[in-house]
């Protein structure tokens, strides 16, 4: 998965890059980054895992930190970021003071600042359900990222992998997932999101059920899932007058 994540970063081949490894653990992903000729800094919340990385004498620098509190590095420092099976843990409220949406936004907003313009972040995750994917991507979009979810081998139970591929600055072309070609040669649709969809960025709380905003949000979610949805018009969500 580390190899795939670095591949999706689309790093230049003519120079070494400085990467951030979020949830680096014992440094296994960092070993691959080093073997590719790049430099890296790893963050993890577990002292035990970082101790293992120190014992293994990994080449990257290590930082004990909770990424839900933010990425504590200067702006534009990194040429890219990878994360293997870590971001989904921010959706859990392990303490009463934890708010998953706030922790995710703090993570994504500070990560956006720490990445250089034109760079990417590739976050491999194991979402529990569609709502968790929606929460994570919504907070990434709110922080300024563009991009979308790349799904490798979507039709396989064991090999299926989710990679949230995020762009900093100008939107790039979303990479194709492995094993996404159907029998007839057509490609499976993948969820995308861009900065253009800012309609609900400043909304507080959830929209009232059956309201126009609620209907538009639901239609937008279905579009990201690759489903066919009727076009939005001025009549969308309009209430009809009661008949006597």
Per run of 10 residues, the mean pLDDT along the chain (length 244 residues) is: 91 92 94 93 95 93 94 95 92 79 94 94 90 91 92 87 90 79 49 46 54 80 76 78 62
Confidence (pLDDT) at 26:
93
| Cα distance between residue 201 and residue 23, in whole Å | 28
| Cα distance between residue 91 and residue 199, in whole Å | 23
Confidence (pLDDT) at 42:
96
| Cα distance between residue 76 and residue 30, in whole Å | 20
| Cα distance between residue 31 and residue 108, in whole Å | 25
Kindly give the pairing relationship between strand 192-193 and strand 146-152.
antiparallel
| Cα distance between residue 157 and residue 150, in whole Å | 16
| Cα distance between residue 100 and residue 42, in whole Å | 22
Q: Which domains does the chain have, with CATH numbers?
A: 1-193 (3.40.50.150), 204-243 (no CATH)
Do residues 22 and 85 touch, judged by C-beta distance below 8 A? no
Do residues 89 and 49 touch, judged by C-beta distance below 8 A? no
| Cα distance between residue 170 and residue 145, in whole Å | 9
CA angle 79, 83, 86 (to 5 degrees): 150
Kindly give the pairing relationship between strand 146-152 and strand 61-64.
unpaired
Confidence (pLDDT) at 110:
96
Among residues 99, 100, 120, 112, which one has the least CA distance to residue 12?
A: 120
Confidence (pLDDT) at 17:
95
């Amino acid at each position: 998965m580390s190899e795939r994540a670095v591949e999706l970063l689309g790093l230049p081949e003519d120079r070494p890059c400085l990467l951030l490894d979020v949830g680096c653990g014992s440094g296994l992903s960092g070993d691959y980054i080093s073997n590719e000729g790049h430099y890296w800094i790893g963050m993890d919340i577990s002292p035990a895992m970082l101790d293992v990385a120190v014992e293994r004498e990994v080449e990257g620098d290590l930082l004990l930190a909770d990424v839900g509190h933010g990425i504590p590095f200067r702006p534009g420092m990194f040429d890219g970021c990878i994360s293997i099976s870590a971001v989904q843990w921010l959706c859990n409220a392990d303490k009463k003071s934890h708010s998953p949406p706030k922790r995710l936004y703090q993570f994504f907003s500070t990560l956006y600042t720490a990445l250089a313009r034109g760079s990417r972040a590739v976050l491999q995750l194991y979402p529990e359900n569609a709502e968790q994917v929606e929460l994570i991507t919504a907070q990434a979009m709110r922080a300024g990222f563009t991009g979308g979810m790349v799904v490798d081998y979507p039709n396989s139970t064991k090999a299926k992998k989710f990679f949230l591929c995020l762009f900093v600055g100008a939107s790039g072309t979303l990479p194709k997932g492995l094993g996404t070609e159907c029998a007839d040669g057509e490609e499976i649709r993948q969820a995308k999101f861009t900065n253009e969809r800012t309609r609900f960025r400043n909304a507080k709380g959830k929209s009232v059920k059956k309201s126009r905003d609620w209907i538009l949000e639901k239609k937008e979610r279905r579009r990201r899932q690759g489903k066919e949805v009727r076009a939005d018009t001025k009549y969308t969500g309009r209430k009809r007058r009661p008949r006597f």
